Structure 1
Amino acid sequence: MMLSEVTPVPEAVLPQEAFKAHLRLGTGFDEAGLQEAVLISFLRAAIAAIEARTGKVLLARDFQLTLSTWRDPQMQALPLAPVQMIQSVTLVDGAGSEQLLAPERYRLEPDSQQPRLRPVGGTLPVIASGGAVRMAIRAGMANSWAALPGDLAQAVLMLAAHYYEFRDDTRLQGGCMPFGVTSLIERYRALRVSLGVGAAGDRGFGRNLGPGADA
């Protein structure tokens, strides 16, 4: 399995002004002389960390998922959530020739924890020996910052501010995340439940930790 991000979160969607206001209140931030690129890098890092910890895509963007085999011909669990749409499914044979699968042959089964690709009648198409299937996927909880749940938005600002405040501290290791942030994101973290073939162990977007795992 190979999952790659096709389009990053656009800079225009990132809450730069809200982050500046948060820094002024929380850290005595002085805006003079600080480059916008620095703030953007902290916001991107915070979003990436929270997405990895929760297994949820916060802001909508495009991904490409490549598989060499189906885990189950009746359904394929997708390694990121929530999925808004499956844009295309392409079969690639061992020689590299591509065949676009008709949208009528598959459907998305939405799920907040583990969405699935399912066939419409019959089974998923056979993947040729030495070949692959490539899926274009649009995933994300919100299309804009304003549409993101308030607790997740606050968690991003708090973690980005934490990174800013301790930007010169190289001692923080092991996925250190402030308690206030972990408490805000706790309810969004993926549950460790068994759904049969292709369940939690098949998820590949960042670190999918259950509630009992280390914060």
Structure 2
Amino acid sequence: MTAQGEAGALAASLAELKAYLRIAMSDEDAVLAGLLRSAAALCEGFIGQWLIVREARETVSGDGRWQRLSARPVAAILDVRAVDGAGGEEALPPERYAIDIDASGEAWVRTRAVSDGRRLWVRYRAGMAEDMNGLPEAIRQGIVRLAADHYAARSGEGAAPPAVVSALWRPWRRMRLA
């Protein structure tokens, strides 16, 4: 299952983007903020990591095998519950499950009890930084450059994103092999 988490904070500031575009007026702030959110989502997809720490909820198999959580880097696992087919939940005490978070932020969870057909509902926090100031400068600069490129291309001209954006993000790219 895919982690569900709601992005809230921007990964780069509106002021940075406006300065880059040399825009002084505030009449297009909503459009620019949307472009920043879109560029940040594309960045997360490209590098395979969440940027700003946020809470996630994910349902995984409760069959006793290690289950990898999909968001990363995981900062903390907050709650593990067993969920039956009817949707009934039971909070699991720590002795009934095991968790592992490695140095790169990959996280796994499994039940220690014999499987009874229930699934695990896991609530956790994942992301690279608590706010935009904690992100590497190259990631923020790539987000600003991509948002600016989308702003410039809004008249309908379809062009490939600047290669510099992927060059800025590539050092943080994490890929999983199937």
Structure-1-length-normalised TM-score: 0.72
Alignment counterpart, residue 71 of structure 2, candidates 62, 80, 84: 80
Deviation at 1:124, TM superposition (A): 3.9
**Is the Cα–Cα contact under 8 Å of residues 86 and 108 in structure 1 kept in the other structure?**
no
Contact 1:85–1:137 (8 Å) recurs in 2: yes
CA distance in 2, matches of 1:19, 1:79: 30
Contact 1:76 1:117 in 2 (8 A): yes
Q: Tell me the SS of whatever aligns to 1:4.
A: coil
SS at match of 2:154: coil
Number of matched pairs: 177
**Amino acid of the structure 1 residue aligned with 2:148:** A
Q: Which residue of 2 aligns with 1:9?
A: 8
Aligned pair partner of 1:106 in 98, 104, 113:
98
Which secondary structure does the structure 2 equivalent of 1:10 belong to? coil
Alignment of 1:1-215 (within 5 A): 1-5=1-5, 7-10=6-9, 14-24=12-22, 30-32=23-25, 34-67=27-60, 69=61, 73-104=64-95, 105-112=97-104, 115-118=106-109, 124-129=112-117, 131-169=118-156, 171-172=158-159, 176-191=160-175, 200-201=177-178
Does structure 2 conserve the Cα–Cα contact (< 8 Å) formed by 1:66 and 1:133?
yes
Closer/same/farther in 2, CA of residues 171 and 19 from structure 1, 3 Å limit: closer
Distance (whole Å) between structure 2 residues aligned to residue 39 and residue 18 of structure 1: 11
For 1:23, give the aligned amino acid. Answer: L
Give structure 1 stretches of 5+ with no counterpart.
25-29, 193-199, 202-215
Structure 1's 33 and 139: CA in aligned 2 closer, same or farther, altered over 3 A?
closer
Paired with 1:138 and 1:54, the residues of 2 have a C-alpha distance of 18
Unaligned stretches of 5+ residues in structure 2: none
The answer to whether the 8 Å contact 1:152/1:184 transfers is: yes
Counterpart CA distance in 2 for 1:103 and 1:16 is 42
1:210 corresponds in structure 2 to none
SS at match of 2:16: helix
SS at 1:166's partner residue? helix
RMSD: 2.4
Distance in 2 (CA, whole Å) between partners of 1:21 and 1:124 is: 54
Q: In percent, how many aligned pairs have the same letter? A: 31
Query: Structure 2: which amino acid aligns with 1:166?
Result: A
Report the Cα offset of residue 143 of structure 1.
Answer: 0.4
* Alpha carbons of structure 1 residues 54 and 126: separation in structure 2 relative to 1, 3 Å: farther
Check whether the contact 1:75–1:124 (CA below 8 A) recurs between aligned residues. Answer: no
Q: Is the 8 A contact 1:92 1:134 kept in 2?
A: yes
Q: Residues 28-48 of structure 1: CA distance to partner in whole angstroms, max 9, x if unpaired?
A: xx3336232111101100000
Alpha-carbon distance, 1:63 to partner: 1.3
